[in-house]
């Protein structure tokens, strides 16, 4: 029975220190409190933000180009007949760019707190010091675009349909060239941008210089909710029509030689649809600097920054103070408890040595006597 009680007690002692030695952390100051004081700081900070961005565009582009140097007639002449038409160059451009663009930029995690400091330092022996910090942030971003774009481009060009009839001499019909260019460009239609910046501001943690027998704990809760919705609707119609003519020429009932030379036709249609319905979202990684076994955790990149003066709140206990600001979400993390001051490995080894010493003494002095010599073989 004594052995069972002894073994159970040893298990509870070791288990207690294993549980206390797990940890994580965050913001505020509890320091210079007297022996036996009980100091507790609890902060719950929550924020909510909603961003609604909606664009509607209804665009119609109608381009109609007509050019004519033809439809010439030379008839019933007693001499030679000559018809020479001019050239036609037609160019039309329709450009729709940067239609319906949403841009929402936040500061990492939808706007997190910066330069967070937590320290429990220089408190008296047997004091109980705790910090409970809860930060939650909810951000809803809705970006919606709707675009109805109709592009109609028509080109009519004619150098033909010339007539030279019933002439007594030679007949020459030379029609001009036609060059027609149609360009339609739809670019950057319905674009949503949410380039969430990384928040590299540090979280500095310190449990240091507290008296013997003190119990120090920091409990953190980070709850961050970032909901991003992007909806884009685009209905784009591109209609390009070209009616180009250098022919349709007639030369009838003429007495001389007949020459009909039609011009060249160059037709180019270009339709470009680029970057239609795009969403660009870059969520930031959440970073918390883990502390070592004790002392202060410096931020990445150099010295430990000093906390700026903030509105203070006083915790219970002799001359206790709490300095901090309303926090915002830096990530999603749940911390346990920072270790109490001292080297736990050395403490555990000391406890094991004591347990082994007591067990040896118990086995040495608590065991039964040896059997009589009469029973010896």
- Considering the domain boundaries, does residue 53 fall inside one? yes
| Angstrom distance (rounded) from CA 156 to CA 70 | 12
Torsion of CA 310, 316, 317, 322, to 10 degrees: -10
> Does residue 22 or residue 121 have the better pLDDT?
121
Distances (CA, A) of 328 to 109, 152, 272: 9, 52, 45
| Angstrom distance (rounded) from CA 261 to CA 172 | 8
Tell me the pLDDT band of 334, cut-offs 50, 70 and 90.
very low
Tokens of 217: 């704990």
Q: How many CB atoms lie within 10 A of CB 377?
A: 2
- Angle subtended at Cα 73 by Cα 267 and Cα 87, rounded to the nearest 5 degrees: 25
Distances (CA, A) of 244 to 105, 240, 302, 339: 51, 13, 73, 87
- How many residues comprise the chain? 377
- Considering the domain boundaries, does residue 377 fall inside one? no
Domain count, the chain: 1
pLDDT, tens digit, 9 for 90 and up, residues 305-324: 443 333 333 333 333 333 33
- Considering the domain boundaries, does residue 260 fall inside one? yes
| Residue of 55, 59, 46 whose CA lies nearest to 104 | 55
- Considering the domain boundaries, does residue 351 fall inside one? no
What's the pLDDT score for residue 216? 87
What's the pLDDT score for residue 368? 59
pLDDT, tens digit, 9 for 90 and up, residues 142-169: 999 999 999 999 999 999 999 999 999 9
- Considering the domain boundaries, does residue 148 fall inside one? yes
Least confident range of 41-50, 136-145, 281-290: 281-290
What's the pLDDT score for residue 199? 52
- Considering the domain boundaries, does residue 239 fall inside one? yes
The continuous run of DSSP H or E covering 306 comes out as none
Tell me the pLDDT band of 247, cut-offs 50, 70 and 90.
very high
| Residue of 116, 34, 23 whose CA lies nearest to 320 | 34
Residue 293 in this model has a pLDDT that exceeds 80: no
| Angstrom distance (rounded) from CA 124 to CA 25 | 21
Whole domain around residue 37: which residue ranges?
A: 22-338
- Considering the domain boundaries, does residue 185 fall inside one? yes
Residue 200 in this model has a pLDDT that exceeds 60: no
- Considering the domain boundaries, does residue 347 fall inside one? no
Tell me the pLDDT band of 201, cut-offs 50, 70 and 90.
low
Average pLDDT score over the chain: 74
Residue 58 in this model has a pLDDT that exceeds 90: yes
pTM over cut 0.85:
no
């Amino acid at each position: 029975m004594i052995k069972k009680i002894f073994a159970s007690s040893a298990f509870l002692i070791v288990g207690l220190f294993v549980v206390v030695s797990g940890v994580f952390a965050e913001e505020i100051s509890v320091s210079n409190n007297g022996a036996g004081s009980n100091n507790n700081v609890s902060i719950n900070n929550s924020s909510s933000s909603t961003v609604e961005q909606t664009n509607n565009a209804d665009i119609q582009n109608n381009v109609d180009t007509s050019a004519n140097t033809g439809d010439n007639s030379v008839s019933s002449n007693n001499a030679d007949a000559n018809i020479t038409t001019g050239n036609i160059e037609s160019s039309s451009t329709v450009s729709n760019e940067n239609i319906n663009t949403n841009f929402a930029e936040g500061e990492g995690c939808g706007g997190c707190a910066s330069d967070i400091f937590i320290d429990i330092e220089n408190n008296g022996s047997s004091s109980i010091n705790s910090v409970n910090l809860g930060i939650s942030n909810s951000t809803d971003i809705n970006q919606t675009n709707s675009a109805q774009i109709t592009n109609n481009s028509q080109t009519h060009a004619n150098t033909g349909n010339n007539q030279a009839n019933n002439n007594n001499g030679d007949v020459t019909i030379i029609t001009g060239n036609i060059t027609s260019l149609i360009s339609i460009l739809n670019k950057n239609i319905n674009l949503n941008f949410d380039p969430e910046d990384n928040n590299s501001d540090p979280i500095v943690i310190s449990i240091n210089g507290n008296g013997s027998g003190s119990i120090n704990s920091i409990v953190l809760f980070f709850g961050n909710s970032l909901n991003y919705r992007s909806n884009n609707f685009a209905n784009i119609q591109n209609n390009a029509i070209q009616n180009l003519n250098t022919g349709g020429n007639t030369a009838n009932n003429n007495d001389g030689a007949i020459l009909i030379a039609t011009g060249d036709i160059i037709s180019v249609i270009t339709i470009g649809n680029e970057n239609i319905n795009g969403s660009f979202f870059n969520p930031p990684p959440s970073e918390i600097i883990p502390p070592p076994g004790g002392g202060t955790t410096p931020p990445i990149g150099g010295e430990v920054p000093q906390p700026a003066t903030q509105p203070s709140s006083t915790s219970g206990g002799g001359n206790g103070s709490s300095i901090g600001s309303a926090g915002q979400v830096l990530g999603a993390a749940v911390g346990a408890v920072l270790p109490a001051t001292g080297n736990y490995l050395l403490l555990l080894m000391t406890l094991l040595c004591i347990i082994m010493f007591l067990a040896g003494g118990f086995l040495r002095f608590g065991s039964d006597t040896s059997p009589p010599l009469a029973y010896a073989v």
